[in-house]
Amino acid sequence: MTKKIKSAEYVREVVPALKCPICGSTMQVVDLKSLLCMNRHTFDFAKQGYINMSAHSIKSNYGKGLFEARHSIIMESGLYDGMHETIAKMILRHLDVSNPLMVADLGCGEGSHLQRIIDECQCSGMTGVGLDLSKEGIVLAAKRYEDPIWIVGDLARSPLESQSFDVILNILSPSNYKEFKRILTPDGLVIKVVPGPDYLKELRESLFHQNENKVIYRNDKTVTLFKKHFQLLDSIPLRYSRKLAKAELNHLGQMTPLAWNGDKARLDEFMNQDSAEITVDLEILFGTKKNEIDPNTLGKWR
């Protein structure tokens, strides 16, 4: 069976979770090769097994090299293992995993975090959907990881149906809280990972002079905004360091947007060290929808 057919069959099982990004109507899989909406807008499955549901294509700095480096760091160096384990534990604690669960990673890049978290949960009824605007990222995700559904798409013109996802992952990536709330099920869990003050500090310190430390991560505003939109269930700080070898430091230097603003010679120096301790400092926010007042219930008291 080709990847394209396998992916079309898989999408067919969860197609109510998708909607047309152009007109918003429901979709169906036709001939195991396209998604078709009621107004006949069509999106074809690519041979690598992903679907492009983006209305326009974008060019970004996030090229293939960056996503390959990200894959190596996430899957091989173990730098983010602590984060994956914490997220999986919280999913298992808060949701009934004996039921089928839909998990969306919004801004999934090349998909490695989503794949790792699903592996860590070990639930047979879990379906992952990875969405990213970058086609380069999604192509790599579809090539490497068969099970999740990979979609090139824009959250601002979302291909995801309302109240269809039990878990929303948003890992070190921009948020669209209005959309998160719309697509989350009433009891669903939104998980946002933000960098703490010491996140990859060794890399930042070598890229910038101490006094012009251009990127300082501060979480307070992010946490306040998150709490405005969601009921904060938990906020878990995660801080540890890992020793990375030369090849891994090289990948780290290539995968982060931090490096784009830094000094090239300093970046080379960082990547050519034999090894270095690297700090991971993250804050993981877990939220649910706030209990909004149901107008039907309200009527009783009038």
Q: Which residues pair with 285 in a beta bridge?
A: 192, 235
Is 20 among the residues that bind Zn ion (CB under 5 A)?
A: yes
Query: Shortest gap between Cβ of 28 and Zn ion (angstroms)?
Result: 11
The answer to the question of residue 92 lying near Zn ion (CB under 5 A) is no
Residue nearest to Zn ion (CB): 20
Question: Which residues, numbered 34-63, are part of the site for Zn ion (CB under 5 A)?
Answer: 37, 39, 41
The interface mask with Zn ion, positions 153-192, x = CB under 5 A, is: ----------------------------------------
Part in contact with Zn ion (CB under 5 A); list of ranges 29-37, 83-91, 99-107, 256-264: 29-37
What residue has token string 């995968």?
255
Q: By C-beta, is 23 or 30 nearer to Zn ion?
A: 23
157 phi-psi bin (left φ>0, alpha ψ -120 to 50, beta other): beta
What gap in Å lies between CA 147 and CA 126, rounded to an integer?
10
Is 18 a binding residue for Zn ion by CB under 5 A? The answer is no
Q: Give the residue from 188, 2, 22, 190 showing the smallest Cα distance to 101.
A: 188
Closest CB to Zn ion among 24 and 195? 24
Binding piece for Zn ion, criterion CB under 5 A, among 21-29, 108-116, 131-139, 194-202? 21-29
Give the other-Cβ count within 10 Å of 179's Cβ. Answer: 16
Out of 5, 14, 15, 22, the only residue in the binding site for Zn ion (CB under 5 A) is: 22
# chain residues binding Zn ion, by CB under 5 A: 6
Closest separation in Å from C-beta 39 to Zn ion: 4
Pick between residue 39 and residue 60 the one whose CB is nearest to Zn ion: 39
The least distance separating Zn ion from the CB of residue 37, rounded to whole angstroms, comes to 3
Which residues, 6+ apart, have CB-to-CB distance to 81 below 8 Å?
Answer: 116
Q: Under the criterion CB under 5 A, does residue 23 sit at the interface with Zn ion?
A: yes
- Shortest separation between residue 129's beta carbon and Zn ion, angstroms: 19
Phi/psi for 276 (5° steps) reads -160, 150
Choose between 41 and 143: whose C-beta lies nearer to Zn ion. 41
Query: Closest CB to Zn ion among 152 and 193?
Result: 152
Binding to Zn ion (CB under 5 A): which residues in 97-126? Answer: none
Q: Is the dihedral of CA 188, 121, 87, 64 positive or negative?
A: negative
Rounded to the nearest whole angstrom, what is the least distance from the CB of residue 21 to Zn ion in the complex? 8
The region of 32-40, 79-87, 139-147, 271-279 touching Zn ion under the rule CB under 5 A is 32-40
Pick 21 or 287: Cβ nearer Zn ion? 21
Binding residues for Zn ion, rule: CB under 5 A, are: 20, 22-23, 37, 39, 41
